[in-house]
Structure 1
Amino acid sequence: MADSRPTAPAQPIRHTVRLALESLRDMLASAGPVLLLVFALLAGAYWWLNPQPPRTVTLATGPAGSAYAEFGQRYAQALARNGIRVKLLTTEGTAANLQALREGQADVAFVRGGSDDMSADADAGITSLGALFYEPMWVFYRPAAFKAPMPKGHHSRHPVLVPLTSLTQLHGLRINVDQPGSGVPDLVRRLLEANGLDADAIKAHDLPPEDAAKALQAGRLDAMVLLTAPESPVVQQLLRAPGIALADLPQADALARRFPFLRTVTLPRGMVDLARDLPPNDIGLLAATTALLTSEDTHPALRQLFAQTAQKLHGGAGWFNGARDFPNTRTSELPVSPEGDRAINGTPSFWQRYLPFWASNLLDRMWLVIGGLIVLLLPISRVVPPLYTYRVRQRVFRWYARLREVEARMEAGDAQHTELLNELDELDRVASQIAVPLAHADELYALRNNIDSTRKRLLARNGSIPQLQSS
């Protein structure tokens, strides 16, 4: 049996769609100038603020196998998750890192405290993202090289070995003081001078740490000095190497008072290996603090990202510090950048906790502009509704000009009756197809009533007003 239910005519549907499209067009045309102004202001602010950072950043680390190199790999992996590629610049050490930062070859660098001309670096726009960790001064030596002087007349075949407890005992021995760019040779020179020795008092060598460790174990060196974090593979190797000892410096407190950039730290008994009880007793060491430095030319978003990454990588407990001791702003020798201070001493914003880096960074850099635009647009947006109303009413009112022309010709009597009647019919047909929102339907009906009124007057003048017919 065929379905006899009536189908809705297509004409009302087309009329509804047309009305919706024309209303949308009017709304866009009315709000267009405001939207264009907003877009222009946002584009100008984006260009001026440059919120999105470069996708590549250079981090100066240190020699291969050093703690700096190890930390550099960790930073590279962490920033890669946010789409930032970290180029690791291998150098001789902290002095070379600072020089690379000064010359613009690096954007960020690991730099140990106590470097020369720190005040000049602050004036040049180099700032800190926070102190990261302690770098103890490790003095590894071969006990066989340190023999007590034999009394006269004593001819024992087994000389008495003495531990290294003072830097004065290095006099005349073969000592590796690391590479020139590491900053260690200058520190050793200053420490020797404090102990009454000049630079020529030792037979200094400048081998890289890995080569020096091999030479020390092979007996070609008597001692070697390292200034690096305990994560260094060379330090880990020498702490467990047979025939190699770590010097305990009882004068560490006195040296730290003489050199303010140094701290005294203690390597606790069993810290290296609890099962083997290494070391067998507490060992006092001198340590410098390493900071993450950056230049003013580095994009603020990258400084923020490095500071936040430092919180994750260096916030735990270590051999010489408790949890959350690092990173900090207390032990930094240079002014701390705003990004570093916020990451260390502040709290992350709401969107940093829930949005990806690029989105949270965009809001961080643009929120003031967006807020200013909202304040500016509140009064400007008030012109949009009148503009919209004007455009909708203009669809109706523009036909009044043609109606007025017909009335003028009718009053002047310079047109044929049939011609004017046809124009009114055409005008009425056009008006019947005008689509306006319901809120403005009264203006459309007024137009059609005026057309009908003019038609009646035209027919009355001609004496041919037709009588109403019923269908």
Structure 2
Amino acid sequence: MGSFKQDVKETFLGLSESLQESWSNFIQFLQETWPILMFLLCVLMGIWWYADPPPPRHVQLATGSTGGSYELLGKKYADYFAKKGVTLELVPTKGAQENLDRLADRNDPVQAAFVQAGVAHAKDLKGIQSLGAISYDPIWFFYRGPEVNNIDFEQRRGQFKNFSSKTISMGVQGSGTYAQATRILKLSGYEDTPHLVYMQGAEAVKALKEGKIDGAFIVDAYDAPNVQALLSDPGLHLVTFKRGKAYVKLIPYLHILEVPQGSLNLERNFPAEDLQLLATTTNLLVDDRMHPALQFLFLEAAREINGRGSFFADRGEFPSFKDSILPDSPIAVHYEHNRYPLISAYAPFWLAELINRLFFILLPFLALAYPLLQVLPGYRAKRMHNKIHRLYGALKAFELELLDGYDAQKRDEYLKRLDMLEYQALKINVSKNLSGEYYSLRTSIDYVRNCLNRGVYPYTENQEV
């Protein structure tokens, strides 16, 4: 038993000594090679800074029309960005068409935009990538007047005849509302319906509430001011899409949202029966030249703001990467599987980004630089040789000085100079391979000291004691 304990003790002692020696060699390596390491690091940092500059502190986001959910959502994103030290400027637009056009324009400063899935020419644009879908946008059709029982305006010659002579708002041309309403009506066979008008969301809401129009398509979030204004009006009614599954089959980017009886207003039991709404999704699109760190920040904002859950979305459902209308950004693909680097939860955005970038630069650098400098032919040995040989040279010069003008009165001064040489020798860190030369140097210094201590010999012709 005692022998086993002794073996274990000696094993751990050997490991400890080996680790200490390795650490000592590494520290010595840094002390000897730091000028080269600093030079290589400066070159690497210069290349890195030029090839991958830090993210900008200002970015523009195209939202949509005034009063819509995109305006409110954009303000939430701007607040989130401000906490991270980045200014997110919101750019109001007329809708999805303008958002896409500005994002596709390589000279336009807009680098991000909220765009509904299903905008006609989105797939033909170049230079735009998707960070995924961030929310549902229900397709609401509100109308005023007597409620039509079991309304099913999808039937070409059915109940929709009740609206054939009515004035209906389709949204502004170029907006997401216009794109969705046009596609649904065309698919249902109503593309030539008369009395269609084209109003922005807030304008359509005002006109419908004042009785200037009879119905309006609104494609917006449940909590959007325009939608809430219409839902709170007891004189307005809401259409159900009974054949929602058929629309989803024919228009793949659409979704079905269930609205249980009374869920919109329990007090007045609105709706009076279960409804089905069709919905598109809002996609967060970016210029493919946007800095990766800013894309990560947008995705984190989407997870923080849109991932909380809402009237129609479950917690954690967004951002979603299933229904992108354009090619996914590689950053979004990475984020889907890995999320944001862990350090971002414990450090400010700029510091986390800097550390993250340095981390991926320094690790490869150290992995390559250390073995590279270790295998440089005779680099470390030559440096140690040079230190030892310089002291040998100083010792030889000292002996020549003694031969040329030895002064017995200065013996103490000579001994102090030898002591200084020996002190300089003691400060040299040498590897085991050069221990012989190191101790030979110290022996030579001691030899000269002994010569001085025993008398003037051999530095004068006359031997005096």
Please give the range of the TM-score, normalised by the shorter of the 2 chains.
0.7 to 0.9
2:113 pairs with one of 109, 118, 121:
109
Counterpart-to-counterpart distance in 2, 1:128 and 1:266:
27
Give the SS at the match of 1:402.
helix
Q: Deviation at 1:212?
A: 1.5
Structure 2 length normalisation: TM-score? 0.79
1: CA distance between counterparts of 2:194 and 2:143? 14
Aligned position for 1:39: 42
Deviations, residues 126-173 of structure 1 (Å, cap 9, x unaligned): 2111111111111111124x7xxxxxxxxxxxxxx6675316433232
Which of residues 251, 275, 287 is equivalent to 2:243? 251
* Whole-Å separation in 2 of the counterparts to 1:327 and 1:429: 77
Kept after mapping to 1: 8 A contact 2:293/2:353: yes
Gap change, CA 1:245 and 1:437, over 3 Å in 2 = farther
Q: Within 5 Å, which residues of 2 pair with 1:279-358? A: 279-358=271-350
3-state SS of paired residue (1:181): coil
Rounded Cα–Cα distance in structure 1 between residues aligned with 2:169 and 2:191:
16
CA distance in 1, matches of 2:65, 2:201: 8
* Counterpart-to-counterpart distance in 1, 2:446 and 2:212: 111
Query: Aligned in 2, Cα 1:280/1:346: closer, same or farther, shift over 3 Å?
Result: farther
Match for residue 133 of structure 1 among 128, 132, 135: 135
Alignment check: 8 A CA contact 2:170 2:182 kept: no
Alignment coverage as a number of residue pairs: 414
Bigger radius of gyration: 1
User: Aligned partners of 2:332, 2:173: CA distance in 1, in Å?
Assistant: 30
What corresponds to 1:16 in structure 2? Answer: none
Q: Is the 8 A contact 1:403 1:451 kept in 2?
A: no
| AA in 1 matched with 2:204 | A
The DSSP-based 3-state class of the residue aligned with 2:281 is: strand
Separation in 2, partners of 1:374, 1:100 = 44
TM-score normalized by the length of structure 1: 0.78
Pairing 1:90–2:92 present: yes
Q: Is the 8 A contact 1:79 1:85 kept in 2?
A: yes
Q: 1:422 to 1:449 in 2, by over 3 A?
A: same
Task: Work out which structure has the larger RCO, using CA pairs closer than 8 Å and 6 or more positions apart in sequence.
Answer: 1
Q: Tell me the distance in 2 between the aligned counterparts of 1:27 and 1:369.
A: 19
1:453 paired residue number: 451
Whether the 8 Å CA contact 1:270–1:277 is kept in 2: the answer is yes
Equivalent position amino acid for 1:242 in 2? P
Q: Matched residue of 1:96: which SS? A: helix
CA distance in 2, matches of 1:27, 1:392: 16
Counterpart Cα distance in 1 of 2:52 and 2:320: 29
What does residue 82 of structure 2 align with? 80
Q: 1:35-90 CA deviation, whole Å, 9 max, x = no partner?
A: 2222322332233222x211111111111111111111111111111111101010
Q: 1:423 & 1:452 partners in 2: Cα distance?
A: 17
2:8 match: none
Out of 395, 399, 410, the residue aligned to residue 400 of structure 1 is 395
- Cα 1:173–1:182 change in 2 (3 A) is same
Task: Report how far residue 447 of structure 1 moved.
Answer: 2.7
Within 5 Å, give how 1:199-210 maps onto structure 2.
Answer: 199=192, 201-210=193-202
1:254-291 deviation line (CA, Å, top 9, x unaligned): 33333222222222223223344332322111111211
State which of 425, 432, 436 in structure 1 corresponds to 2:424.
Answer: 436
Amino acid at match of 2:418: A
- Structure 1 residues 157-215: Cα deviation after superposition (integer angstroms, max 9, x where no partner): xxxx667531643323211112223132243333323333334x232222221122111
- Residue of structure 2 equivalent to 1:421: 407
* Structure 2 residue aligned with 1:120: 124
Q: Give the letter aligned to residue 177 of structure 1.
A: M
Instruction: Decide whether aligned partners of structure 1 residues 404 and 93 sit closer, same or farther in structure 2, where only a CA change above 3 A counts.
Output: same
Q: Distance in 2 between matches of 1:186 and 1:349?
A: 38
Question: Structure 1 pair 362/33, CA: closer, same or farther in 2 (3 Å)?
Answer: same
Q: Is the 8 A contact 1:392 1:436 kept in 2?
A: no
- Aligned alpha-carbon RMSD (Å): 3.1
Give the match's secondary structure for 1:288. Answer: strand
Query: Residue 437 and residue 349 in structure 1: after superposition, are their counterparts in 2 closer, same or farther (change >3 A)?
Result: farther
Cα 1:325/1:61, change in 2 over 3 Å: same
